[in-house]
Amino acid sequence: MARGWGREGDFEADGEDGSERFRAPPRKPSPYVTPEGYARLKDEYDQLWSVRRPEVVRALAAAAAEGDRSENAEYQYRKKELREIDRRVRYLQVRIPDLKVAEQKPADPGRVYFGAEVEVAGPDGEEKRFRIVGPDETDAAQGRISIDSPLARALLNHEVGDVVLAQLPAGPAEYEVLSIRYP
């Protein structure tokens, strides 16, 4: 059932559990980035704008010169590729000026802050190492987690020996902080 605009109290409960359809907009990602992450984003922007986009534009012009565009697969592919490049370039043009590069180590290196490399013991006793980075630099395979992630939020401001309770998507889990290092 369509609702239109109204006050929050105007929404009816949809589910049996009393949940509503309204969802708050997603949180804006943290503006923090490591110096390496900032350099990577700048390099990506320069590569897309100066190298990749001109290549695709040339290929698109050549494909357009072949004639009927409605049945030209090369033309359709290049248009799609150009849209994807332009979308990423626009994102980087807006995101890069807003970023705050965290270049200095914190005053208290015994606590977990942005940029920390943290070793934790998980609920199963397995030791894992994470580096807390900005949302634009996350890479689970390399152990880089976003500062906006539930685990990183739970670890912030804790020190070695603390046991933290993280509200993960799979449910709550306890982690013990084993070591903290700032690379």
The predicted model gives 144-172 an average pLDDT of: 93
Percent of the chain residues topping a pLDDT of 70: 89
Q: What is the pLDDT of residue 174?
A: 93
pLDDT in tens, 80-102: 999 999 999 999 999 999 999 99
> Residue 60 pLDDT more than 70?
yes
Burial class (CB in 10 A: 0-12, 13-18, 19+), 162: middle
At residue 17 the predicted structure's pLDDT band, cuts being 50, 70 and 90, is low
pLDDT in tens, 96-141: 999 999 988 888 899 999 999 999 998 888 999 999 999 999 998 9
Q: What are 8's two structure tokens?
A: 């929050």
Q: What is the DSSP string of 116-149?
A: -EEEEE-TTS-EEEEEEE-TTS-BGGGTEEETTS
- At 23 the three-state DSSP class reads coil
Q: What is the pLDDT of residue 13?
A: 52
Write the single-letter amino acid at 15. G
**Burial readout 111-142 (b: 16 or more C-beta within 10 A, e: otherwise):** bbbbbbbbebeeeeeeeeebbbbbbbbbeeee
> Residue 43 pLDDT more than 90?
yes
Q: What are 159's two structure tokens?
A: 């020190």
At residue 9 the predicted structure's pLDDT band, cuts being 50, 70 and 90, is low
At residue 1 the predicted structure's pLDDT band, cuts being 50, 70 and 90, is very low
Rg (CA), the chain: 23
> Residue 22 pLDDT more than 90?
no
Where do the domains of the chain lie, and which CATH numbers do they carry?
A: 32-101 (1.10.287.180), 117-181 (3.10.50.30)
d(CA 53, CA 69): 20
The phi and psi torsions of 42 (rounded to 5 degrees) equal: -65, -40
The predicted model gives 41-55 an average pLDDT of: 97
d(CA 167, CA 170): 8
- The mean pLDDT of the chain is 87
